[in-house]
A and B are shown apart, each in its own frame.
Chain A
Amino acid sequence: MANATYLSDHDASAALAERIREANAEGAPLRIVGGDTRFFYGREVEGNELSTREHCGISFYDPVELVVSVRSGTPLGEFEAALAEHGQMLPFEPPRYGAASTVGGMVATGLSGPRRPWAGSVRDFVLGVRVINHEGNEQRFGGEVMKNVAGYDLSRLMVGAQGTLGLITEVSFKVLPKPGATHSLHLELSLDEARRRLAEWGREPLPISAAAWLDGALHLRLEGGPSSVAATRARIGGNDLDNGFWAALRDQRLPFFRTGSLHETKAPLWRLSLPHRTPALELPDVDERLMIHDWAGAQRWLHTELDADTLRRACQAAGGHATCCGPRPTNVEPFTPLPEVLMKYHRNLKAQLDPKGIFNPGRLYAAL
């Protein structure tokens, strides 16, 4: 077991549990906050702030087991640095929206970065969680082993639930060794041609680990053993691309994402999640070439003033959904509304796990 010494290490779970017991007794809603860097990703919550930041540190790390457990208030950057000391990483490349971004926020929002289609998402690497329930009991689901099917999978359920089902206090992850070799390529291709090639490459065991089309070019990352990366690079051609591009894409630091700059106010930012082979969506006044097509086409970003319903209908027809990230026009829900039956069971689950509605009420949907 190895602990990075520079990480602050503090167990504040007893105090957090006490706050939750009080809130539950009073029926007073809590607004759960880590680094508060992901505030834009969801509805506003009205409630007393409950901060996880004091609850931080790596409680367990065994690089040989590929398992690490970390408290939710731990800054994501420090956590990743501790893994990197042992040549390991979070394979899903979570976006970091600032130095304050925490592990808890990463898990609660469930957002993954460029490697997601090939490596899996946040939830795919969660092995277990500790959660403080509405009664103030810290409960453990899943664990620190790779395979565990005892009871229902409540640990993965917490990923993306944005704290509406309980307070995540600790998460155990499977981690992986960093790849032996990495090389990035820039290929000037039309969007159609990029789509055609990605479809072809996708059926072969090539060491591709990121693929994003923007600004008239396909950006590609190869990762794997030195031999296969070199061979694939020779086969695919194109120009070399600085590997730093992927961190900028991941953390939304590319010029595309910049809002509120001096001379322009951009239209709302939308994230479209679609089956990767979905062709250009038929949307009025939307130029597909001005979008970012990440995840080999499965995650598309655009700025548009188009009304939410039109956009969402087009995405749903293709088997996907659309999320409005960041400043929203009034009356636009951030997340795609759920079908009635599905919403009924969401409400049931919320009522069962948080009967007084104290955990981040309304963060995902008004009714939850």
Chain B
Amino acid sequence: MNILYDERLDGPAPELDRATIRDSLTQAIPDMTLLHREEDMRPFECDGLSVYRTLPMLVALPDTLDQVQRLLVECHRLGVPVVTRGAGTGLSAGALPLEHGVLLVMSRFSRILEIDPEARIARVEPGVRNLAISEAASPYGLYYAPDPSSQIACSIGGNVAENAGGVHCLKYGLTVHNVIKVEILTIEGERMTLGSEALDAPGFDLLALFNGSEGMLGVVTEITVKLLPKPEVAKVLMASFDDVEKAGNAVGAIIEAGIIPGGLEMMDKLAIIAAEDFIGAGYPVDAEAILLCELDGVEADVDDDCETVRAVLEKAGATGIQQARDDAERARFWAGRKNAFPAVGRMSPDYYCMDGTIPRRELARVLKGISDLSERYGLRVANVFHAGDGNMHPLILFDANREGELAVAEALGGEILELCVRVGGTITGEHGVGREKINQMCAQFRPDELATFRAAKAAFDPNDLLNPGKNIPTPARCSEFRTIKSASADTAPGTLHG
């Protein structure tokens, strides 16, 4: 099934004349940058999931809120779809443009409006990079907790749209737990504030609803996040295992001991070798799996917890345990993990990153399942895993230049996600559905549940103009998905290399 917008399955696209739309927008907002030449728009044809590309009809690069507002009013009047884009680092094609839509790029809204150390909040524009918030808060001993691996580049507006996670979620939560207020422009151009600088706000929790809504309910124009005091110390233990299952069990044992680590990450052999080769993090390349366990907080407690965790790891059968001796070594341990994606990327012309979440107890079974699928499809898979919260990132290695190999990688990825759903998990933990997982939504939700999602969307955008075709599949798409699934249930999937 095609991932790009397909009118047959995703609904009819409006018939729009590009020149007319361009004239109307130029007339309505003469002071706004509006790109229309192919060579200017090319850089915007994809987000971080670059295997999917579509040239938008027009690209708008507003500098002011007033311009965004007028753009939305005009698009609403003309019936033009609007796809909002932040830094374009998303991994689910959530910001994939539409041929018949305007791409609204929010990257020029990059000012930090206020850091208030007394209130422990930061008020920022949506184009501000995730890491820039922590950097600006650092002089006050504060930081912004969610840290997706792309934090150097990704924007906070995109983080809100995707409800981004990172390696510290088990203890510090996701974006939704750390954003306290957002300013919204509706598709009709109305301004609306969700949330509050107080700890709650009257009415429905629309702030929660908008986090992770993939730009489909409104456009986020300003974000207030809470800042936390930097932990006094953070220490990292690295444990190696000769068996993936033992590593998985060790994760549960740590939590059973009553400890919530700041970060708890797992990598399998292929990922370890890739990272070691790329970064030289000091990982044991002969291990089947490693666990990185970061404990942070007040020094006296952290020291106690390190001892407890060490004992737990030994009992769980770790073949080696190493505590980072200083901050430099700690940073090196993390560098290997944080660069795991590009490291794996060096082993193969292309890689495709999955994002399923599973109950941790199912880890061994799912890894075995992935290994079987990998063999069946003839593509290697490296596993990187936010073990503490059950969020897996299997990386499928493939070569897009080989005829049909992308399709095989997609099929393998789809099966991995469906496996996650079968064991009680979800198709996406933190990357979002976007276009990428639109078909697997049909596996995770029943038709009537999908109808409820569509009803929620209709409350804010009845004409389906905001990022249409993403996140929630149409009944037509799901009916085709189910037909294909039942047809292929009897026949084993084709293998690529004989």
Contacts and interface: CB of A to CB of B under 8 A. Distances in A.
A366 interface: no
B255 interface: yes
A345 B206 contact: yes
A202 B193 contact: no
A276 interface: yes
A145 B459 contact: no
Contacts of A326: none
B144 to A, nearest CB: 14
A184 interface: no
Given A156-B208, A275-B119, A139 B390 contact: no
Contact size range, A = 35 or more
Contact of A149 (B194, B428, B459): B428
B297 interface: yes
Contact of A231 (B173, B203, B300, B459): B300
B260 A154 contact: no
A348 B194 CA distance: 16
A229 B120 CA distance: 23
Contacts of B252: 64-65
B40 interface: no
Contacts of B217: 152
Interface string A250-291: 000000000000000000000001111100000000000000
B326 interface: no
Contacts of B165: 147
A273 B197 CA distance: 9
Contacts of A63: 256
Contact of B357 (A117, A146, A346): A146
A63 B257 CA distance: 11
B198 A275 contact: yes
Contacts of B229: 202-205
A228 interface: yes
A145 B358 contact: yes
A237 B140 CA distance: 25
A321 B452 contact: no
Interface in B337-355: none
A352 B444 contact: no
Contacts of A178: 258
Given A205-B230, A224-B297, A152 B457 contact: yes
A150 B433 contact: yes
Interface stretch (B10-18, B184-192, B238-246): B184-192
Interface in A196-252: 199, 202-207, 224-228, 231-232
Interface in A87-130: 87, 110, 116-117, 120-121, 123-124
Contact of B258 (A62, A150, A177): A177
A72 interface: no
A133 B328 CA distance: 54
Interface stretch (A9-17, A21-29, A336-344): A336-344
A33 interface: no
Contacts of B169: 146-147
Contacts of A275: 119, 197-198
Interface stretch (B269-277, B315-323, B419-427): B419-427
Given A145-B429, A147-B429, A225-B304, A351 B204 contact: no
B22 to A, nearest CB: 30
B374 interface: no
Given A159-B205, A176-B260, A149 B142 contact: no
Contacts of A157: 204-206, 208-209, 456
Interface in A54-78: 62-67
Given A149-B162, A353-B452, A139 B446 contact: yes
Interface in A311-368: 319-321, 323, 335-336, 338-339, 341-346, 348-349, 351-353, 364-365
A80 interface: no
A150 B204 contact: no
Given A160-B204, A353-B455, A150 B444 contact: yes
Given A157-B209, A345-B192, A147 B389 contact: yes
Given A146-B169, A150-B433, A110 B200 contact: yes
A190 interface: no
A303 interface: no
Contacts of A343: 203
Name the residue in A149, A205, A273, A342 with the highest tally of chain B Cβ atoms < 10 Å from its Cβ.
A149
A206 B458 CA distance: 45
A137 B448 contact: yes
B176 interface: yes
Given A124-B173, A149-B433, A156-B208, A117 B203 contact: no
B300 A273 contact: no
Nearest to A322: B202
Contact of A154 (B118, B232, B255, B456): B456
A204 B424 CA distance: 39
Nearest to A348: B459
B24 to A, nearest CB: 25
B298 interface: yes
B85 to A, nearest CB: 18
9 contacts: A124-B176, A141-B449, A156-B208, A203-B140, A224-B297, A225-B304, A335-B203, A346-B203, A364-B203
Given A336-B202, A353-B459, 12 more contacts: A64-B255, A145-B358, A146-B170, A146-B388, A148-B357, A151-B453, A152-B212, A152-B472, A157-B208, A157-B209, A160-B204, A319-B196
